[in-house]
Structure 1
Amino acid sequence: MRETLEAVAAGDLTPAQAEARLRGYATTEAGRFDAAREHRRGIPEGILAEGKTPAEVAAMADAAVDSTGRALVTRADDETAEQVRAYMDQEHPEATVERDARARTVVVHADNYEPPAVDADVVVVSGGTADAPAAREAAVVAGEAGPRVETIEDVGVANLTRVLDELDALRGADVVVAVAGREAALPPVVAGLVGAPVIGLPTSTGYGVGGDGKAALLGLLQSCTVLSVVNVDAGFVAGTQAGLIAIGVDGSRDEGDD
């Protein structure tokens, strides 16, 4: 504790960084940011923008950058993304701010932030263009864990040759996130073609009796090919799981080198 307090007094640590080191989280007016999650789980905490005001999200992002060197914001609308960018321009002018409007994510890296490097490959494959919001959210989140991430879009099984054309890339992955709506046929098909773990991500791109992702979710839960399943439109969860698997793959390679 004394070392931390001395670092604050010397200006080497901000109060937010000191609090995060001592308590494991940083406190803001908008809530508490779990600054220790990356060390505890291998992935950073995501700041969910839904249900928060743009100012609250910006304050949380500031605490994240201040205590960990980066911020990952999900489900951010345009107003929230702009407020985060404006806040960073003022408080962290050297930081990089990347906005993916389709994924609804904002990623901030401080100028001295060193991203993790994970020797593993994640492929995010989606059935249709309408699945892009969930698929891209998964790709952004997985990428923040450190692995190489490739996105393959619009290869739904209505024309199976589109999947087969991407078979080399799919089989080269260490983990696959397969994203589909309607009846979600794509993930079970992919899971039957590759040796890597497959995470099925159902989306709400459907209508009728099984619309809003219900048929997609139930179809994946009933899959006869082995895969894991996350909730409807849960790109953050799927990307997190893919990142954790990738970290495990990288660790097993390191052990093999020993």
Structure 2
Amino acid sequence: MRELLDAVADGDVSPAEAEARLNGYATTEAGRFDAAREERTGVPEAVLADGKTTAEVADLAATAVETTGRALCTRVDDPTAETVTTALAEEFPDSNVEYDERARTLVAHAPAFDPPALDADVGVVAAGTADAAAAGEAATTLTEMGARVTRVSDVGVAGLHRTIDALADLRAMDVLVVAAGREGALPTVLAGLVDVPIIGLPVASGYGHGGAGEAALAGMLQSCAPVTVVNVDAGYAAGVQAGLVARSVDSARTDGRR
């Protein structure tokens, strides 16, 4: 501890970084950032922008970069992305910031950040174009967890030949995240055709009764083929679940090479 205190006194370690090392979290005016989550669970902490002011998101994102070398923000709108990008550029001039407007994700890496790399392939499948936002959130999460991500888009069951055409690529994956709205049939169909775990991601696309994702959620939960299901539009959760499978695959392959 004395070494850490000396490093703070010398300006080599910030108070927030020291708090994160000691407590596992860093306290800001916007809340507490769980800096030890990835070390503890293998899952990178994410800053949910919904319900927060742009200043609060920027504060937490900066704390994330300061304490872990990376910030992963979800449900980010354009004004928030602009505020966060400007704030990070001022505080960490050499950091790299990427904003995906469709997926509503923002990722920032400090120059010295060493991203994880898993020997595992994850397919992120979107039934239709309307499902791309939720699928994109999952893909960003998986990329940050170190998986190799392959995006497969617009292969919904309304044109089953599109699904069949993509089967060879999907069967080569270690795990699939399948995003679908309307009745949510695609994960069930694929679960009967491939021999890899499937994470069903119901999407609030559609209209009328069940059009806010309820029908897709119910359909996936009632699947007669084995599908693991997350909540409606929960791209981050789906990405995390698939990422944990990818970590296990990577671990098994690493052990097999020893």
Amino acid at match of 2:157: V
TM-score (norm 1): 0.98
Give the equivalent residue in structure 2 for 1:61: 61
Q: Secondary structure at the match of 2:179?
A: strand
AA of the residue aligned to 2:44: P
Q: Which residue of 1 aligns with 2:16?
A: 16
Give the aligned partner of residue 206 of structure 1.
206
Q: Give the structure 2 partner of residue 167 of structure 1.
A: 167
Aligned position for 1:42:
42
Structure 1 residues 126-185: Cα deviation after superposition (integer angstroms, max 9, x where no partner): 110000110000000111000100111111011111011111110111110001000011
TM-score, reference length from structure 2: 0.98
RMSD: 0.8
Extract unaligned runs of 5+ from structure 1.
none
Matched, 1:99 2:88: no
What is residue 257 of structure 1 aligned with on the other side?
257
Matched ranges for 1:61-100 at <5 A: 61-100=61-100
Compute the displacement of 1:11 (Å).
3.0
1:44 offset after TM fit, Å?
A: 1.0
Post-superposition Cα deviations, 1:35-94, rounded to whole Å, max 9, x if no partner, equal: 000100112111000000000000000000000000000000101000000001100010
| Structure 2 CA distance for aligned equivalents of residues 152 and 211 of structure 1 | 23
Equivalent residue for 2:180? Answer: 180
Tell me the distance in 1 between the aligned counterparts of 2:255 and 2:6.
Answer: 38
Alignment partners' CA distance in 2, 1:147 and 1:8: 35
Gaps of 5+ in 2: none
Moved more, 202-211 or 2-11: 2-11
Q: Distance in 2 between matches of 1:45 and 1:149?
A: 19
Cα deviation, residue 9, structure 1: 2.5
Verify: 1:139 aligned to 2:115, yes or no: no
1:114 is aligned to 2:114: yes
For residues 116 and 6 of structure 2, the distance between their equivalents in structure 1, rounded to whole angstroms, comes to 28
CA distance in 2, matches of 1:244, 1:129: 26
> Residue 43 of structure 1 contacts residue 144 of structure 1 at CA under 8 Å; is this kept in 2?
no
- Note the C-alpha offset of 1:234: 0.4
Percent sequence identity is 61
Match of 1:2 in 2: 2
Q: Give me the whole-angstrom Cα distance separating, in 1, the residues matched to 2:244 and 2:14.
A: 29
